[in-house]
């Protein structure tokens, strides 16, 4: 699993991260952690935490000025951030297989870069990715490998469905069984056996109701007004907390062009929302909703088809230790059927 996947899933503290850990534990799988990735996780998580602290300080000063009072608060310093990352790795210790960055890996990676062999190329000298690939091949002598990375350099083409042909041939020649996935969600679908049964339509409706306000703000820039949910694709996974499911979803919402000054005002449009959340089974609520993307298709004033897409990045948020969750949470009751 590459650095961006660790960061996007908040050191596996997200809903999908919890489902991923549950599946690994249940099936007695292991999680490979190359030394080059571990070092990068520390570096980039510390940078993200520092940027988040700066934003908190800046916006809190504005709130203080508006409210007219001072309420002291304390944010973790750099040492505390690093301790928290270390503590997280200690929690996962039984799952981890650490792969040292050896001189052999370094030489092989440098050789790839010099020869422009994938995952390096003439345009991108990817020494780190080459080192990760060498670590994967090394670990593959003992284990079947599931490589999770959205880095296009590992893939055959821009669709990112198949492993690069040269890398695939190398794996076969080395006797390594290796599959590649762009996200832990895709890996989960391959690894998980029994899947929980949920009322997909009802859950999709509650997700839409919980997120409608934010979706509306996003598409209002294009003069679109949401109307109703039209379709959904729901994937639910068991997590470490057995009273909660991790849910990956794609919902499609019908919309209309709301600009009364346009010739095509009132014509139909559609908005597709991709994201994930946690479903609390006992309390029947949707919580910790997180968008991945919101895209829209509509007809412009001249009658041509238009589209727009917004991608949400989550790598700037960190959870520290076992304390209370600070990030924004959307909750809404799900009525019994």
Which tens digit of pLDDT belongs to each residue from 87-133? Answer: 999 999 999 999 999 999 999 999 999 999 999 998 888 999 999 99
**What is the reported pLDDT for 218?**
86
* pLDDT classification of 60: cutoffs 50, 70, 90: confident
Residues in the chain: 337
Strand partners, 274: 250, 293
Q: In angstroms, rounded to a whole number, what is the distance separating the alpha carbons of residues 232 and 29?
A: 31
C-alpha to C-alpha distance for 231 and 250, rounded to whole angstroms? 8
Q: Can you tell me the mean pLDDT for 285-314? A: 80
DSSP 260: T
Helix (H, G, I), strand (E, B) or coil at 301: coil
Six token digits for residue 299: 């007809």
User: Please, are residues 270 and 296 in contact by the beta-carbon 8 Å criterion?
Assistant: yes
Query: What whole-number distance in Å separates Cα of residue 107 and Cα of residue 138?
Result: 14
Output the pLDDT for position 336: 33
Q: Is the pLDDT of residue 315 over 70?
A: no
User: Mind listing the pLDDT tens digit for each residue in 217-268?
Assistant: 888 888 889 999 999 999 999 998 888 999 999 999 999 887 655 545 556 7
List the beta bridge partners of residue 306: 298
pLDDT greater than 90 at residue 46:
yes
What average pLDDT is seen over the chain? Answer: 86
Residue 324 clears pLDDT 70, i.e. is over it: no
Phi and psi for 64 in degrees, rounded to 5?
-60, -45
Is the pLDDT at 205 greater than 80? The verdict is yes
- In this model, does residue 311 exceed pLDDT 80? no
171 touches 202 (CB < 8 A): no
Q: Tell me what pLDDT residue 65 has.
A: 85
- The band of 332, judged by pLDDT with boundaries at 50, 70 and 90, is very low
Q: Can you read off the two tokens belonging to residue 43?
A: 């570096």
At residue 193, the pLDDT reads 66
In this prediction the pTM is 0.78
pLDDT (0 to 100) of residue 335: 34
């Amino acid at each position: 699993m590459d650095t961006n996947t660790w960061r996007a899933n908040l050191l596996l503290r997200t809903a999908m991260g919890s489902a991923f850990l549950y599946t690994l534990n249940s099936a007695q799988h292991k999680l490979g952690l190359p030394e080059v990735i571990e070092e990068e996780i520390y570096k980039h998580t510390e940078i993200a935490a520092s940027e988040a602290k700066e934003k908190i300080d800046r916006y809190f000063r504005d709130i203080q000025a508006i409210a007219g009072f001072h309420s002291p608060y304390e944010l973790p310093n750099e040492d505390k951030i690093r301790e928290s990352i270390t503590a997280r790795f200690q929690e996962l210790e039984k799952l981890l297989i650490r792969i040292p960055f050896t001189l052999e890996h370094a030489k092989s990676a440098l050789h790839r870069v010099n020869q422009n062999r994938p995952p390096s190329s003439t345009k991108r000298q990817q020494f780190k990715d080459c080192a990760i690939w060498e670590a994967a091949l090394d670990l593959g002598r003992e284990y079947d490998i599931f490589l999770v990375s959205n880095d296009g350099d590992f893939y055959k083409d821009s669709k990112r469905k198949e492993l690069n042909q040269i890398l695939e041939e190398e794996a076969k020649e080395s006797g390594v069984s290796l599959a590649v996935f762009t996200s832990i969600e895709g890996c989960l679908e391959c690894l998980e056996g029994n899947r929980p049964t949920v009322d997909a339509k009802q859950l999709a409706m509650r997700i839409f109701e919980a997120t409608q306000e934010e979706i509306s703000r996003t598409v209002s820039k294009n003069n679109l007004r949401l109307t109703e949910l039209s379709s959904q694709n729901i994937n639910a996974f068991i997590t470490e907390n057995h009273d909660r499911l991790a849910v990956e979803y794609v919902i499609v919402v019908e919309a209309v062009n709301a600009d009364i000054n346009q010739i095509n005002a009132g014509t139909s449009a559609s908005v597709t929302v991709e994201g994930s959340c946690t479903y609390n089974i006992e309390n029947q609520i949707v919580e910790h909703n997180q968008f991945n993307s919101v895209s829209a298709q509509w007809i412009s004033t001249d009658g041509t088809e238009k589209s727009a897409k917004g991608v949400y990045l989550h790598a700037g948020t960190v959870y520290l230790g076992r304390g209370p969750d600070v990030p924004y949470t959307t909750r809404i009751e799900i009525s019994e059927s």
